[in-house]
A and B are shown apart, each in its own frame.
Chain A
């Protein structure tokens, strides 16, 4: 029994583990389109962190033939100098493009938009030109709604990517298919940590009942609880259908999510036994009143608990829910919206019904064991709190939070206490899990402190510095401005100075570093010089001033200064030079006397 619970927890926690290293282009560049008015389409791309798109590579086409696309209104991007193309602009994060269009035949029911885009990932790959499509229903134009085949996500939780597109795709079948799919979707959701906090709530409701519990009664109570939950979600569905997409968007603000995270923390602390969570006395007595007046009065309390649970846990479900609500909002189909979410909640409730039907057999009996389960749920709740606010936290803070949670959990699991002789199997298991948690926590701590930037790969920060070791050990001193440069040159009095202009995007700069600067003979000459480097990747005003000073348009460029600090004219190195030629230049610079 204890073991099955652990397995369940492990499954629930494992759902987020398998994130591929490189995203499919549809996930790296999440695409959505809608009609903003009768003359223009709003195209949105959600570009995953670490990925970027090229501003001048978008191509939009519309079908059928009567529709024509005008010039897309592209916001300015971030400018880079490209060695081969000159200036190149790229986008990161959220991108909205307004696409004007003309329609010769007003009776066309729908438009098919095809968008071809090009983008790359920072880890050093690009994608072949990628086509994404959306259907835009003109009939719904009056309401300002449209339909795209990828539900636009206004949220950015790491787990959200798959769920919302799934939810949207589901609707391509008929009504009953949608209902059935949502039921199945709910069943899958029931094994996410979101539903787990409902189990102890339900168990306390059922176990706390006064009469001895029969199976039928247990099942009925669980059903009433699930019904309360389902009605709440159905109301959310109907509200979304009536109000448009606003509901799910409203949920995804830092304040709302932060507030819910606090609720989670409060619930977690209650689980840890810091205080007792109880309904307000007034409400409690009214419920007791009701239960004494009606025969099934207890059911009302259970129903209310179901409603409350759904409200409390709603934001936890926000990512998958938002996609569904958003679609419902756009379709404005109240019946479908309400029924679909009702079915989803029923699906989510199936394991709870199983718990109820077992009438406490599956339920932990009160005792020290119950305390362990409660602490387990408390830990999960804290984890959920971190998870739902993670879109708004810097990665380092997220990692520190995970580290703290994992390490504290490890200690409560007695990871570092010695096992008593003849330890119980469960004690050994718990110590093993504790040590795993401790190691994972330490990994996050090390990762956070060493500048790791990926929650799923906490130690990737270390790997980067390892492979990048070659460039960090180059003996250059970085300078950031003209005044800094002058200072360094003055300080170098009597020695030859070499100034290298560098940028991350500069191919030949990297070649110079890799093949030329690493040459032993070059390194030997370097020892007699002061080596300065200006990293102009950011292209700031300071960088521009530095480049202007030497009449350079950008890297690559290497400038030498003689022992008196004046530039050695005619000895610049522009572009890649192999070690042999570069050595000759270095010798000239070192031998230069005015």
Chain B
């Protein structure tokens, strides 16, 4: 009798735990979608043409072969702005060794252009397009946070994804071995 009682309790507990887990998966997993294989995501990010601040279009793929740091940001996003000077410094320091920063802004082109000249941004800035948000989510940033930074090595492999502000020391330790 006692053993049966224990079994009943355990079964009910297990069922409800399974239910809870299923709900959790259901509620968090809905936005996952397919095609989140990192290589495929990077390929799409590199191949998508985006507008630049000058009115032209560019593909990030044109810097293939270098170490590419893609920074998703916006001028209205204070934590994004704080790390821009770090990128400017590192572009200056390592640009000649093959490091290429690219900024992708969720913003209006004129705001981005004004910001770029005020902060003397020395790397290309592109404007997020229709696909960008979906790519950002597929790259692992489901909540769509900014800033978000991807580090891609010379062979086009996704080396690191950094949600939120990134410290100079951390970025340097990521990038230096790849150069």
A residues apposed to B, CB below 8 Å: 1, 3-5, 7-8, 11, 15, 18, 22-25, 54, 57, 82-85, 88, 118, 120-121, 123-130, 162, 166, 184, 187-188, 190-191, 350-351, 354, 358, 361-362, 505, 507, 510-511, 576
With a cutoff of 8 Å between Cβ atoms, the chain A residues found around residue B23 in the complex are: 166, 188
A84-B81, A162-B27 given as contacts; is B143 within 8 A of A127 (CB)? yes
Among the 9-residue stretches B1-9, B38-46, B94-102, B153-161, the one with 4 or more Cβ atoms under 8 Å from chain A is B1-9
Q: Is the CB of B9 within 8 A of A84?
A: no
Contacts of A84 in B (CB 8 A): 75, 81, 115, 118
Interfacial chain A residues near B144, Cβ < 8 Å:
25, 127-128, 130
Tell me the minimal C-beta distance from B4 to chain A in angstroms: 8
Chain A residue nearest to B82 in the complex (CB) = A507
Residue from the set B17, B75, B144 with the largest chain A CB neighbour count within 10 Å: B144
Residues of B within 8 A of A (CB): 1-2, 4-6, 8-10, 12-13, 16-17, 19-20, 23-24, 27, 72, 74-82, 85, 106, 115, 118, 128, 133, 136, 142-147, 163-165
A4 / chain B contacts, CB cutoff of 8 Å:
6, 9-10, 13
CB contacts (< 8 Å) of B20 on chain A: these are 15, 188, 191
Smallest CB separation, B126 vs chain A (Å)? 15
A125 touches B16 (CB 8 A): no
Given contacts A22-B163, A118-B76, A128-B133, 20 further A-B contacts (CB under 8 A): A4-B13, A8-B13, A11-B13, A11-B16, A84-B115, A120-B79, A124-B79, A125-B77, A125-B146, A126-B76, A126-B145, A126-B147, A127-B144, A127-B146, A128-B72, A128-B146, A130-B144, A188-B16, A191-B20, A358-B5
Contacts of B2 in A (CB 8 A): 1, 361
Say which residue of B17, B76, B164 sits within 8 Å of A57 (CB atoms): B76
Closest to B12 in A: A351
Residues of B within 8 A of A188 (CB): 16, 19-20, 23
State whether A362 touches B13 (Cβ < 8 A).
Answer: no
- What is the bound-complex CA distance between A83 and B81, given in angstroms? 10
Per the bound structure, the CA–CA distance linking A14 and B72 in Å amounts to 36
Report if A128-B136 is in contact (Cβ < 8 Å); known contacts: A4-B13, A8-B13, A11-B13.
yes
How far, in angstroms, from A288 to B153 measured CA to CA in the complex? 81
Partner of B164, one of A11, A82, A123, A505: A123
B5 touches A128 (CB 8 A): no
> What distance in Å separates the Cβ of B53 from its nearest Cβ neighbour in chain A?
15
User: Can you name the residue of chain A whose Cβ is closest to the Cβ of B133?
Assistant: A128
- Are A510 and B82 CB-contacts (below 8 A) given A57-B76, A84-B75, A127-B143? yes
A467 to B65, CA, bound (A): 36
Residues of the A chain whose Cβ atoms lie less than 8 Å from the Cβ of B164: 123-125
Contact pick for B85, options A25, A362, A511, CB 8 Å: A511
What are the residues of chain B within 8 A of A121 when measuring CB–CB? 145
In whole Å, how far is B26's beta carbon from the nearest beta carbon of chain A? 10
6 A-B pairs with CB atoms under 8 Å apart are A8-B13, A84-B75, A118-B76, A124-B82, A125-B79, A166-B23
A190 touches B8 (CB 8 A): no
Query: Which residues from chain B contact A505 at a C-beta distance below 8 Å?
Result: 78
What's the minimum C-beta distance from B166 to chain A, rounded to whole angstroms?
10
> Is the beta-carbon distance between B1 and A361 smaller than 8 angstroms?
yes
| Partner of B16 from A25, A190, A510 at Cβ < 8 Å | A190
Residues of B within 8 Å of A25, CB to CB, are 143-144
Task: Decide: B19 and A187 in contact? CB cutoff 8 A.
Answer: yes
- Residues on B with C-beta less than 8 A from A510 are 82
**Within the assembled complex, what's the spacing in Å between the Cα atoms of A393 and B1?**
47
What residues of chain A lie closer than 8 Å to B75, measured between beta carbons?
A: 84-85
Q: Which of B8, B106, B163 is the one whose CB lies under 8 Å from A128? A: B106
Shortest distance between the CB of B74 and any CB in chain A (Å): 7
- By the criterion CB–CB under 8 Å, are A126 and B17 in contact? no
Could you say which of A8, A11, A129 contacts B106, with CB atoms under 8 Å apart?
A: A129
Identity of the chain A residue whose Cβ is nearest the Cβ of B31 in the assembled complex:
A24
Query: Distance (Å) between the CB of A569 and the closest chain B CB?
Result: 27
Given contacts A124-B164, A127-B145, contact A85 B76 (CB under 8 A): yes
Neighbouring A residues of B74 by C-beta, 8 Å: 126, 128
Q: Report B50 CB to chain A, min CB distance, Å.
A: 15
Q: Shortest beta-carbon distance, A119 to chain B, in Å?
A: 10
Which chain B residues border A24 with CB–CB below 8 Å? Answer: 142-143
| Docked CA distance A18–B145 (Å) | 20
User: Are A124 and B146 neighbours in the complex by a CB distance under 8 Å?
Assistant: no
Complex Cα spacing A507 to B83, Å: 9
Asked if residues A7 and B13 are in contact (CB atoms below 8 Å), the reply is: yes
**Complex Cα spacing A355 to B143, Å:** 43
Contact A126 B13 (CB under 8 A): no
B12–A507 CB distance below 8 A: no
Can you name the residue of chain A whose Cβ is closest to the Cβ of B24?
A: A18
Residues of A within 8 Å of B128, CB to CB, are 128
**Contact partner of B145 among A88, A125, A162, A358, CB < 8 A?**
A125
Bound complex: CA of A129 vs CA of B130, how far in Å?
12
**Contact partners of B17 in chain A: CB under 8 A:** 11, 191
Cα–Cα, bound, A126→B13 (Å): 39
On whether A120 and B77 interact (CB within 8 A), knowing A125-B164, A127-B146, the answer reads yes
Shortest Cβ distance from residue B107 to the other chain A in the assembled complex, whole angstroms: 9
Which listed residue (A8, A88, A126) contacts B9, Cβ 8 A? A8
**Closest chain B residue, CB of each to CB of A3:** B6
Q: Indicate if the CB atoms of A354 and B143 lie closer than 8 Å.
A: no
Q: How far is the CB of B113 from chain A (nearest CB, A)?
A: 13
Per the bound structure, the CA–CA distance linking A7 and B6 in Å amounts to 11
- Given the known A-B contacts A123-B164, A124-B164, A507-B81, are A354 and B76 also in contact in the complex, defined by CB atoms under 8 Å? no
A196–chain B nearest beta-carbon distance, Å? 13
Chain B residues, Cβ within 8 Å of A5: 9
How far, in angstroms, from A514 to B36 measured CA to CA in the complex?
38
Q: Taking A129-B106, A187-B16 as contacts, is the C-beta distance between A22 and B5 under 8 angstroms?
A: no
Tell me if A362 and B8 are in contact (CB < 8 A).
yes
A7 to B19, CA, bound (A): 16
